[in-house]
Amino acid sequence: MREKKVWFITGAGRGMGVDIAKAAMAAGNAVVATGRNTDRIRSVLGEADDLLVVKLDITDPADAQAAAQAATERFGRIDVLVNNAGNFIAGFFEEIDSEQFRWQIETNLFGPMNVTRAVLPVMRRHRSGLVVAISSTAGIVGQEFCSAYSSSKFGIEGWIESLTLEVAPFGIRTMLVEPGFFRTDLLTPESTVYAEPSIDDYAERTRQTIAAWNSMNGQQGGDPTKLAAAIVRLASLDETPLRFVAGADAIETVERKARDLLAQADAKRELSSSLALDDASSPVRGRPR
């Protein structure tokens, strides 16, 4: 297996996970396709010598360990981990109950952490590997009706940024993928759960938002097969980007956020610059306060 890479993909039974798995196999790689429904994975990916289908609920650490072990027993190594599986809980913050909010974080943040924690020892043994995390422009900028989802994706961003520095000495790289609007199944009933309306003040905005999103479903401009091919292409490079901002709309979002951050930093520059201690002692810069 040394002449090809071994890809470990979560959520490979539908949506973007299917496209990534197909693109990786088309490029001559071995694929470990994981998901909760293995029959569905087999139905969309078929059978192949270099394909291993493994049951994996990413919220279960034991499942993650077992899947990583199955991958190494079959192929001997894991070269590329794609943390793709996730869901979308939408609604206004006051109407998303604590259990739903925790479920969102458990799936979209702690799930990828469970899988990465299981795979990293394999990569460290080989002193190489790439951890890909499918984030979102929702991890760059927040918007109404997305407080839970954005919280999970902002968490992914901070976690991967920090992990990058921790695993670099072992030859392990990371890549955040930040898609804009792609024609995936994110807005379908299988992927999106709406909070139960309970507060009259939000009722009309909830109705308008859900109607707008329903009309958007299936009309997004991004092609997921092209995104999958781009991810496979980037993974083959000796130096992968720390971030891949995917889609013209995503680039526009990131550029706008960058301008906003600079403007906000500059707005109170004089006040911010006057907050140092008057004596010579000061904390080491760059550490959390």
Could you give the residue numbers annotated as active site? 135, 149, 153
What burial class does residue 284 get, using C-beta atoms within 10 Å of its C-beta: 0-12 exposed, 13-18 middle, 19+ buried?
exposed
Of the candidates 19, 1, 42, which has an alpha carbon nearest to the alpha carbon of residue 183?
19
d(CA 3, CA 29): 9
List Cα–Cα distances, 223 to 209, 213, 228, in angstroms. 23, 18, 9
Of the chain, the end-to-end C-alpha distance in Å amounts to: 47
d(CA 106, CA 93): 17
Q: What DSSP character marks residue 197?
A: P
Phi first, then psi: give them for residue 193, nearest 5 degrees.
-115, 125
The token pair at 111 is 């799930």
Cβ pair 78, 123 in contact under 8 A:
yes
Cβ pair 11, 134 in contact under 8 A:
no
List Cα–Cα distances, 56 to 111, 116, 193, 271, in angstroms. 10, 13, 21, 51
